Structure 1
């Protein structure tokens, strides 16, 4: 541990002693600010390190773990969103069903439309009968989403080569707050995607009209919606950028002075994940109808797309980490083995090394015992 107790320090994953680093302000003034633009020659070093991370250090294995948690999260999350939509639009449930059927006809092959309609009928019927479905699905979604966020945080710290420095309670509270932010962002993306007059009018009739807010209702219906059809996709892209930025900023035990809304890694991730999604959709629409093999191929294609998306998300974070390393090297820091960006906290990390030290001591005592 560094000699000065107040000095921020990093506990490396390899079990080596803690390494002192700069404060957030000092790091910004000596590293981030003067070396914002990295030289072209640095990209060769970055590319080599990314190659090693992908093919030698099991980055795709981490992506597979996140994909499991994505599946664990996806079903209750979608059920919760659908329950909310059905309950909010209880007076216009036929429109919810119509939108669902339009989505199925556009995205599900003809051979499987009947099965998809049956699932929608079951879900819609359940959400109309009781709010219990909503409460249970939202609770499960938040719990499983929190598991995904915690797994992403562990992977992010590993990509930076450091232990989590935040204490257990602080880490859990932070991860839950991040989970709520991510789920809220995904909900806003769904709202942005489906928002139209047939959805908005019954909500305004239920909420705005009884409160005599007719001017507000007219503004949204007459002025806002005609403009919204041009703003829909920019809004979805902006929300996606914000979600990735928040995930990249809060998940790892790394603290920069300023919120980094758009980085090279987050841009690469967003573009690549979009292309993967389009590729999976193209495959499903063209090959899923080819009997049992087509169905199995579509299922495998969906899982593979999920694996690629989560791996790309981690790769984007690793790219940002390696750009940080290059900036530190340009500033003269000894970052060949460990990225020295300031941690969010340090106290919780030392406990991991103490546990490792006790285990090594116990092993040594066992070896020496007769």
Structure 2
């Protein structure tokens, strides 16, 4: 069934209600909670990304380290390259090992990194006004799968940014001659890479939009009408993330050296940037929820107060209600005992 299209007054309703719901619903507090989980899962996520990249690039840890150094030299301001390099070196040392070690390390890091996705799931449920109904194991499996998809997507973004002749040779070089693909390798090196320099940025933007869309679709306990590759909320979040990234880079480039607090001032700016990034992600969820509300209202559904979206599962709320009923019964027994005394 095609979704009803919104006109200008419908989009005004979406924008106004999304901002108000974000503010009244504690969107800034949700962003602060997600910022905590961002910091909590930073090292595990970095380990997982590094391990996955090393496994993808033919278990070539030296190549990944070299690409990381090139990335730092290109995109990190000179005043912070040494500090960022030390962090990357810590991650590289922690990920040392063969294929088995990298696989085990990636699995452990994946489990730890999923804490952010689970926290985002709780925030999304609050936005949609839906209790978490999925059982523990199915939900954990879904969150791990979502985390793995996001991590692979992050690796794809980083590889796309750093893709050069060295990466192509390291990935396809060992396979080109045995499989008779030497001509393909030569084409990639001579014809594709010069075009890729200009083509990669639109593709990277599209990939980031897909990652945000998957995060918005998979985390809440609601069965949405359909999966949207480019939702309005994802577009809002993308523009917000781009703005936050540009402002943070400008701070590092022009203002960090003027701060009397030195590294502490930069750390505070980083915390604020992470908080702002999570805030726009939460705002994007509100935009998607209010877009769905406006479409339901246009279809004649009474969704003024509650969205009429079915949950993925209601088993855990039923169990939660049973536990609360038992606790209420015990409280009632205690009250009656005091009255009798």
- TM-score, normalised to structure 1, is 0.80
Q: Deviations over 1:92-148 (max 9, x none)?
A: 93x655544443344444444444444455555665665676345423430122111
1:226 pairs with 2:194: yes
1:294 pairs with 2:262: yes
Q: Deviations over 1:42-74 (max 9, x none)?
A: 445434433433333211111122122222222
Match of 2:242 in 1: 274
Cα RMSD, aligned residues only: 2.8
Q: Which moved more, 1:50-59 or 1:81-90?
A: 81-90
- Deviation, 1:241, is 1.2
Alignment of structure 1 residues 177-192 onto 2, 5 Å: 177-192=145-160
1:48–1:240 Cα change, 3 Å? same
Among candidates 105, 109, 130, match of residue 141 of structure 1: 109
1:122–1:303 Cα change, 3 Å? closer
Among candidates 275, 282, 285, match of residue 317 of structure 1: 285
Match of 1:348 in 2: 316
Among candidates 328, 332, 338, match of residue 306 of structure 2: 338
Among candidates 221, 224, 233, match of residue 253 of structure 1: 221
Greater share of helix: 2
Q: Which moved more, 1:322-331 or 1:150-159?
A: 322-331
Question: Residues 126 and 133 of structure 1 are in contact (CA less than 8 Å); yes or no, is this contact kept in structure 2?
Answer: no
Provide the C-alpha distance between the structure 2 equivalents of 1:304 and 1:43, rounded to a whole number of angstroms. Answer: 30
Question: Residues 53 and 155 of structure 2 are in contact (CA less than 8 Å); yes or no, is this contact kept in structure 1?
Answer: no
Provide the C-alpha distance between the structure 1 equivalents of 2:97 and 2:321, rounded to a whole number of angstroms. Answer: 53
Provide the C-alpha distance between the structure 2 equivalents of 1:352 and 1:213, rounded to a whole number of angstroms. Answer: 59
Q: Deviations over 1:1-22 (max 9, x none)?
A: xxxxxxxxxxxxxxxxxxxxxx
SS, match of residue 333 in structure 1: coil
Match of 1:199 in 2: 167
Gaps of 5+ in 2: none
- Deviation, 1:250, is 1.3
SS, match of residue 163 in structure 1: coil
Q: Deviations over 1:236-264 (max 9, x none)?
A: 11111111111111111222343211111
Match of 1:176 in 2: 144
Gaps of 5+ in 1: 1-28
Provide the C-alpha distance between the structure 2 equivalents of 1:68 and 1:92, rounded to a whole number of angstroms. Answer: 30
SS, match of residue 41 in structure 2: helix
Provide the C-alpha distance between the structure 2 equivalents of 1:114 and 1:315, rounded to a whole number of angstroms. Answer: 35
Among candidates 25, 28, 45, match of residue 60 of structure 1: 28
1:68–1:75 Cα change, 3 Å? same
SS, match of residue 288 in structure 1: helix
Match of 1:364 in 2: 332
Count of residues in correspondence between the two structures: 337
1:84–1:341 Cα change, 3 Å? closer
Provide the C-alpha distance between the structure 1 equivalents of 2:335 and 2:31, rounded to a whole number of angstroms. Answer: 38
